[in-house]
Chain A
Amino acid sequence: MVEHAYLIPLLPFLAAIVIFFLGRWLPIKGALLGIVACLISFGMSVDLLMQVMDGTLKLPMEMRYPWFDVGLFQFEWGVLLDGPAMVLLVAVSGISSLIQIYSVGYMHDAPRFKRFFAYLSLFTSAMLALVLANNYLQFFIGWEIMGACSYFLISFEFERDAAGAAGNKAFLTTRLGDLGFYAGLLTIFFVLGTFNFTQIAAHLHDGNVTPHMALIIALLLFCGTVGKSAQVPLHVWLPDAMEGPTPVSALIHAATMVAAGVYLVARSYGFFLQAPQALEVVAWVGGITAIFAATIAVAADDVKKVLAYSTISQLGYMIMGLGVGGYSAGLFHLTTHAAFKALLFLGAGSIIHAVHTNDMWKMGSLSKQLPTTFWTFLMGTLALVSFYGTSGYFSKEMILGAAYGSHHYLLYTIGCAGAFLTSFYMTRAFSLVFLGLPRERDRFAHAHESPWTMTLPLIVLAVPSILLGWFMHQPETLAKFFPMEGLHEAAEPRWVGFVALGSGMMGLVVGGFLYLRSLTLVERLAQIFAPVNTLLKNKYYVDEIYWALFVRPTGKLAQALSWFDFNILDRIFVDGFGWVASLWSKIQSWIDDYIVDGAVNSAGWSAQNLGALARRVQSGFVQNYLLVITMALVAMLMAMESFVGKH
């Protein structure tokens, strides 16, 4: 069975193509095919997982399929199955299937329905190919395809300018990160001559890579992560990406694509280990991102934006975890986050579907109207705030513990503060949406629960959100799935975990008090802290700064270049050629008129004149004729006589 592992990404890919071209005639416009393909992949992944669990399958396992040769180098497709890959396979295929089921309900009256599913399947296949990749080239291909799909899916409702702009922004911003990534790939190839992970690991083990080189490579690769996983400063695309349909947000921006950046760091961990300064950079970027985004989430009024910033923040946690040496911690959080964030986004979709607005201030007391959504959303929230016992608790604990254990005390503190804020804003959001009093009567009255296609995935996702932690947090399990040599996870004192937990709970309490009990207090606080409020509401003006610093000058440069092209280059080359051509044609026409026509005309003229000349013979004048005749006669006689006379 494992030999067919390549089918896992291949099936959704084929499904995507079929849906795109033939979707019109398939049941539910191709959605069924997509779901089926995804479920098959999921089944295969689970099967593989089972095999690993009972020891039938030994990891790591690699299969290689040569692709093409350039000189001495051979490029290949390949499958590399190891711990992280296994886990992510199951997570991605499972979540993708659920989201496709959800989309049948959510997008049921959308135009271009089949194209949506085609893109979803394509995206899933790209992510799976990336997860399974055994070399950087395949990884990068999957990465880029996902970037393109993200563009398509975010701007799916491109009739709205905002959606199109958001798609552009996402694509361009991640592209910026991809530049660094690409440079890193080139460097790797240049130094080591191969893209294959196993071979690279061998090189690193043998010490063929200098620390200097490793640092450069690591930082370049991290650029890709900063873009794809929306770290500061390239985080700006993710909130805007909320313009896309909610299933898109769930799949791409919660569970999968943004996780790819973290996965990249994990796969390249060898380089990072050889360059400790790179790890520092990674940790700090992650930490800053975590707290930065959390502060903005506090002031967000749009439920999806809250979740978006939350995602950025949690990604920061994962990155930070990897940066402080918590390889397994970071990947563990990645897995749990995939589950509960997808759940939260899908729940948000359900809410929006019910009340037709994203603004939390227009909602309220929806627990009465949307019970299933309410309970599942609660599960997700508990996981996110790392309430004791949820999977989120275990994973975030590990990260903070790793931070403390590796003597990154400041980062630990930042992480705890972030946990406080996380609980705070989630409680805030939860209260505003589900609890309290309904703020708009009409909306409240019309709100109804979503169809089973939407609520089923919610329920299914709620399970791992809570329970996954129990299964995976044992060190042996973790070691089986996320092994890393050369890492020592220091044991941290007990109180570290409690402090972390405590800060989270505090946030819960404060948030609940403020938003549940006394909204007037909230307003008063908002007025007191007005400048801070404005700053947060405007996301620290990062977008505006970028616009002024980068976007506008680029636009002006583009305009200048276009002016140059238009007025100067076009004048010289295009118009110039045109002018030369017209000049040449003028010359030719002159030639034609005077020389060619002159020849023709002179032929006619000469014919006329010769004729006139010849006509003079016909004078009609008899004496003329007579003269000529007699002259001729005399001449002939004389000629005859001279002949005859000689004899």
Chain B
Amino acid sequence: MAALLIGLSLVVVTSRSVFRSAIALTAALGVVAGLFALLGADFVAAGQLLIYVGGIMIIMLFAIMFSHRPAVGLDRQTNDQWLWGALFALAVACGLIVQFRAVYRGVFSTTVSMPTTISIGRLLLGDMVVPFEAISLVLLAALVGAVYFGMDYEERL
């Protein structure tokens, strides 16, 4: 599953066609949901599927459709600093891996999975209620902003 994920993500970032990237991303997100489930986070996995796959990707696909121009379909899609970017990414990844490996090498899981929804609910409305409310404000702001930027120029003023 991990390999699949990596492969998919590579496709996301390297594909010439933005469509293909989007599809690959959707697939990758689905795989991530599976990973979550594997790790005993059933609620999160479900949430991932709902939010990401169902919501965000749809919007992205709409946006891609909206802005696609046939003429420039198949140019390359990496810019001029791709090499530097690759090197940097590699460096970051390796650094992280090395660190993680050193620190967390032999940690194994010991428990058995059980449904977590109730615990999450209790957590959110208990210890994490402030972030919970704050997030709703953020969502409001995002909503307003998105609508505003979506308006026509004359309407905006």
Give the interface of A toward B (CB within 8 A).
Answer: 621, 623-624, 627, 630-631, 634, 638
Contacts and interface: CB of A to CB of B under 8 A. Distances in A.
Given A624-B81, A627-B88, A634-B91, 5 more contacts: A623-B81, A623-B85, A631-B88, A634-B88, A634-B95
B88 A623 contact: no
Please list the 6 inter-chain residue pairs (A to B) with the smallest Cβ-Cβ separation, ordered nearest first: A627-B84, A631-B88, A624-B81, A627-B81, A627-B85, A623-B79
B125 interface: no
Interface of B: 79, 81, 84-85, 88, 91-92, 95
11 contacts: A621-B79, A623-B79, A623-B85, A624-B81, A627-B84, A627-B85, A627-B88, A630-B88, A631-B88, A634-B88, A638-B95
A229 B84 CA distance: 117
Contacts of A631: 88
Contact of A634 (B79, B81, B84, B92): B92
A299 B137 CA distance: 149
Main secondary structure of the interface of A (DSSP, over half): helix
A533 B79 CA distance: 126
A621 B79 CA distance: 10
Nearest to B99: A641
A181 B92 CA distance: 118
Contacts of A623: 79, 81, 85
B27 to A, nearest CB: 25
A623 to B, nearest CB: 6
Contacts of A624: 81
B96 to A, nearest CB: 10
A392 to B, nearest CB: 131
Contacts of A638: 95
Nearest to A637: B95
A627 B81 CA distance: 9
B78 to A, nearest CB: 10
Contacts of B85: 623, 627
Contacts of B84: 627
Nearest to A626: B85
A621 B80 CA distance: 10
A634 B87 CA distance: 13
A623 B88 CA distance: 13
Nearest to A641: B99
A629 to B, nearest CB: 11
A630 B92 CA distance: 10
A638 B95 CA distance: 10
A627 B85 CA distance: 7
A634 B85 CA distance: 14
A277 B78 CA distance: 130
A624 B84 CA distance: 10
Contacts of B95: 634, 638
Contacts of B88: 627, 630-631, 634
A621 B84 CA distance: 14
Contacts of A627: 81, 84-85, 88
B32 to A, nearest CB: 23
A625 to B, nearest CB: 11
B137 to A, nearest CB: 28
B102 to A, nearest CB: 12
Contacts of A630: 88
Nearest to B80: A621
A630 B85 CA distance: 10
B117 to A, nearest CB: 37
Nearest to B85: A627
Contacts of B91: 634
A623 B91 CA distance: 18
Contacts of A621: 79, 81
A630 to B, nearest CB: 7
Nearest to A634: B92
A468 B88 CA distance: 140
A634 B91 CA distance: 10
A634 B88 CA distance: 10
A190 B114 CA distance: 149
B144 to A, nearest CB: 25
Contacts of A634: 88, 91-92, 95
Nearest to B82: A623
Contacts of B92: 634
A479 B111 CA distance: 174
A624 B80 CA distance: 9
Nearest to B88: A631
A634 B81 CA distance: 18
